[in-house]
Amino acid sequence: MSKFKYQMLIQWSDEDNCFLVGFPDFPGQPFRTHGDTYEEAVANGTQALESLIMAYEATGETLPKPTVSKVH
């Protein structure tokens, strides 16, 4: 999994009372999982990303190109 460099967006939701996790490089729903704590959101997000990549590969879809930021 470390070869993939996709962004994971984690933000707090007052409405849902949890951290929501999304992957901006993948089209579709803005959030794919959540967590009650930040650490849980990271763990759930990692699992969700792995599942998302496996689903793309299983259907033969081309994975989106990761957005990579450069630090200057």
pLDDT in tens, 27-38: 888 899 999 999
What is d(CA 36, CA 62) in angstroms, rounded to the nearest whole number?
32
In the predicted model, what is the mean pLDDT of residues 27-56?
94
Average pLDDT over the chain reads 92
Tokens of 9: 């967006």
pTM of structure: 0.85
Q: Examine the pLDDT at 1 and tell me if it is beyond 60.
A: no
* 65 within 8 A of 45, measured Cβ to Cβ: no
Q: How far is it, in rounded angstroms, from Cα 15 to Cα 50?
A: 27
Structure tokens given for 4: 């993939």
- The confidence band for 4, taking pLDDT boundaries of 50, 70 and 90, is confident
CA distance 5 to 10: 16
Q: What is the pLDDT of residue 70?
A: 82
